[in-house]
Structure formats: C-alpha cells, structure tokens
Chains A and B, each alone.
Chain A
C-alpha cells in the first residue's frame, strides 16, 4: 500500500492507460498462441521426417503430395506410419495438456495431473482388463471396448479422488500421496494381468504400460482429435467459473457458482481425455503436469487463455518428446513415454521443492 487513496493521480488517465495495456496484453496472448501453433506445425514436420527407414526429404515430399505415384512401401511408411504417428503426438498432447490444466484447477493442486493422481493408471487397468479378458459386446469393435473400459475405470478413479479430496479434507500433499497409492495399486493390478496374460496379450500390455505412439492409425488419431475438439469448447464454456474457483471456493460459491457441478463436469471431461489417451497410446506420463505450469507462466490464469494454452503447450512438448525418442537410440524408436518420464520426474521434483520453499 504505497499510495494513499487521497493522492491518486487523475484516475481517468490511469484507467485509459491500464485499459490500453490490458488490451495489448490480450492481443499478445493470441500472438503467443499463434506462435505456439506454428511451432507445433514445425515440430510435427520434423517428427515426420525422422524414422528408422532413411527416406530423403524429396521422397517424403513427393509421397505426401502424390501418394498414388509413390512406391507402395514408401506410401505405407509415409501415410500409415509417419503421419499418423506425428499427428498422434500432437493430438495426445492437446488432450493431456487440457486435462491436466482443468485437473490442477478443480483440485487446487499444482501437482495434480491424470498421470500423477492415478487416473491414467486406472485407465490402463481398464484397458488391460478388456484385452486380457477379451471383453466383448456384440456389434462393438474390440478397440472400442478397450477405450470404453479405460474410460469407465478412469471416471471411477476420478470420482474416488474427488470424494477423498472433499470428505477426507486432504491438503494437496495428502492428495498426491493418495494418488501415488492409487498409481501403485493400479500398476500392481496391471502386473497381475501381465502375469496371467497370453504371450500375444502380453505384448499388447507392455505397450500400454510404456506409453508409445507407434500404434497410431488414422482412426485413433481422428477419435483423439474429435475428443479434444468436443471437450475444449465445453471446458471454455466453464472458463470464467474455473477462473473464479482459483480465487477460493467460498468466494466462487458467493458468485453463484455451483461448485459441485462444476467439478463433476470437469472430472468427466478429464476422464474422457485421459482414457482416450491411454486407450490409444498407453500411459504417457507428466505431459498433463508440465504443460499447465508452463501455460500458467505464459498466459496467466484467466482460463479463457490458460486452458487452450495448456493444450497447445502439451502438444508441443509431446511432439518434441517424439522427436527426441527417435534420436536417442539410433535406428530405433524408443517409446515416447520413457522420454516424458525422464524429463517429467525432475520437473515434478522441482515443483514439489519450490512449493516447500514457498
């Protein structure tokens, strides 16, 4: 409180100036968003050019522009492997970035993410159950059963987290410990299923636990992108309310916000995105944790910008991680989940320690 109220210099001037600065600020956020989008396109292109089969740039470009004229093997590599793979990195990154951002807000916890609090592991249990037990409903493709079961388990674990946060009156460190307990339990269940699985199923299961983009195809990419495209507007519709929730629960309630309903709908969105991501690529760790932190620094916490910001940051990180995963071991692609874990753990510790200091 440096300026006493009596000596405020002509308020109208100040208002105009601050208004102009604020308008510039909003403009700047859009510029930033566009810059990130361009970076994603660039990163996706680089990702696309990398791979075990040494195709040259002209070859790639020709196959991309005239697929019919290209050699069949090259066509398959470009259109069925490289492109879906590179696009899937973006699609999953968008979904996990958005899910993580919403989760950190509704649980008021900077260490929350679908991965750290066990929602991804729960989805992995659901997915592996569907694979090992060969769950099937007439008329529904097996792939859908896997994704559907992943969603059911994800939403159940999300509701459990919400119940514990609400009724257990847990602080954020307590929530993280509870989440870790969930992660361990679900991982044990996945191990159990690996133990009893047939050799063929086992291969499938290992894929879930590592987190890999290598099984991407146009259908799964399409579903993941559609899921994101559906959830983002719904999340943005609640953007003001979510921002108000950041000011404090009692304050948000006094603004007429039904907090319970807000949390529940957000958890549904989070579970859907996390479940889709796990169903198509396994548990890719830490994207949902890191992206919101970077987005918060870049865009602030006005959720109209923070939510899409976190999504694009997530997409960029996963796309870059995908590039790294192709460069770490020559001649082979290591699962991208391993890369995100290697980067994510130090970041997680950094956030944890900085909170302790604060």
Chain B
C-alpha cells in the first residue's frame, strides 16, 4: 500500500509539488497519473523514487517511511522508469536487462535474474526474438520495451513508469498495458503510470490521479475521476465522455474550454 501525505517538492526555490496528499493506493492496483505538461507528474514520480528529496511530507510503502531507509535499500522496493529511452549503447538486450538486476549491490533481484528469467520476461513482452540484438540497432519502440523489461526484472513493490507508451504503436500500447495490469495483480505491486492517452487510462487503470500545477485535482476510479468538469479544469479542454457501441466510455475532445484562457 502506498500512502502519500502533504508532499512538497521544489527545484531550488520553485515549488513543483505543493502539499499533495493521495488517498492510499492498495497493492495490486494500477493507477494512471494524468495531468497537463509541466503539472509535476515526472517530479512526483522522481520524488517517490527517491531521486528528488521532498521538502516536506511523507511517503509510506507498506507502512515503511521511505525517507528513513537508504537509497540502495529503497531502490530494491521502488523502481522508476524514466521517460527517456535507454541509451543506444553496444550492449545486447539480454545483457542490458541482466545489468538492471545486478546494478545495485543489495538487489536481491540479482539472484533471481538468471538468463532464463530474463528470457521469460522478454517473451511476455513479446521481444524475446530481440534478446541477442544490440541496443544500438533497435527502434525507439523496441528500446522502450527493453526499458520496461529492465524495470520489471527488478520485481519492485512500487513501480513508477513515466510515459512508458510514448514510442509504441497501438498494438504494443494495448499489449503493454495488459501486461502491466497482470504483473501488478500477480505480484501485488503498486503501479503508477504517467499517461497522456485518457482512453488508455479509462480502459486499463484501476484508478486515476489528476494533478495540475503540482496540486491534486481528483483521485478515484477512472469513471468518476475523468469527467467533463475534471478535464476542463485539468487540461482546459471541452470534452465529452460517451459510451461506445460496446459500452466502454470514451473521451471525445471538442476543443479548448472557454475558461481555458483563464486557467493559464
């Protein structure tokens, strides 16, 4: 269970996250983190991962205050996947995933990360045929999937993914979201995913967190968090949420909301 309360994060003097508290997120839940550009989504993930030190506030994972444990120890339980793709280096896909498991001395994942385990994970992601390819020969989308494998092989309790779908085609976007949900349920993870595609969030997440200017706007199940009013105040767009012929809610954006000018 992840509990965040009264979190303040600032770069130098500029506050990016101000007094943000979240309702507890249970293990086995996949939560979409939504918000406009510059709203503090990446900053929130980095603060949860321990890469940025919050000014104030508490982050508790299964009851443990994360600030109270060492950086290496924390990295055992929390994995953050940055927005940038893995660098194009002369390293085979298999090696790059093994490295992720072996990187920190404390990682218990190192013992589990045999070649077989890596291959099984790559197969689940549908990229086992690339295992022996070099990273510097892969496409952007393939590299993104390898990056995801690097995060998953560490078997974290808290998985923080910053736009993991940005370079993927539609097929793989669906595939990855399905897989993330399976992993989240199977291993009892708390998974936080930054998404830009609201329909993806509606369809694949157990909950949504909407933030703007570092403040929480809404948190709740997708259907109640993503509403016309919420989208207007969060993104400044005029949108409808309508059910398609199969009864699945879809977001349709009609244009900028009339209040948008006032929001910026």
A interface vs B, CB < 8 Å? 1, 3-5, 8, 11, 14-15, 18-19, 21-23, 25, 240-241, 243-244, 246-248, 250-258, 296-297, 300-302
Contact = CB atoms under 8 A, between A and B. Distances in A.
Interface of B: 49, 51, 71-76, 79-82, 84, 86-87, 89-92, 94-96, 99-100, 102-104, 106-107, 115-116, 119-120, 123-126, 128-129, 131-132, 134, 139, 141-142, 147, 150, 154, 169, 171-172, 175
Contacts of A297: 90
A43 B194 CA distance: 57
The residue in A22, A241, A256 that gathers the most chain B C-beta atoms within 10 A of its C-beta is A256
Given A244-B99, A254-B82, A256-B75, A302 B128 contact: no
20 contacts: A3-B126, A5-B171, A14-B119, A14-B128, A15-B123, A15-B128, A21-B132, A23-B115, A25-B92, A243-B103, A244-B103, A246-B89, A247-B99, A250-B84, A251-B82, A252-B103, A255-B154, A256-B74, A301-B95, A302-B91
B92 A240 contact: no
B4 to A, nearest CB: 18
A11 B120 contact: yes
Contacts of B84: 248, 250-251
Given A1-B172, A19-B115, A296-B90, A255 B129 contact: no
Nearest to B78: A254
A253 B147 CA distance: 14
Given A254-B79, A254-B81, A247 B87 contact: yes
B119 A18 contact: yes
| A-B pairs with lowest CB-CB distance, top 6 | A256-B75, A5-B126, A11-B123, A15-B119, A256-B104, A255-B103
Give the interface SS of chain A, mostly helix, strand, loop or mixed.
helix
B171 A244 contact: no
A174 B139 CA distance: 28
A4 B126 CA distance: 7
A19 B150 CA distance: 17
B72 A256 contact: yes
A254 B49 contact: yes
Given A251-B82, A254-B81, A255-B104, 6 more contacts: A241-B104, A247-B91, A248-B86, A255-B154, A256-B71, A257-B75
Nearest to A246: B89
A255 B119 CA distance: 20
A22 B73 CA distance: 30
Contacts of A241: 103-104
Contacts of A5: 125-126, 171-172, 175
Contacts of A23: 115
Contacts of B71: 256, 258
B87 A301 contact: no
Given A241-B103, A256-B72, A3 B129 contact: yes
A15 B116 contact: yes
A300 B91 contact: yes
Contacts of A296: 90
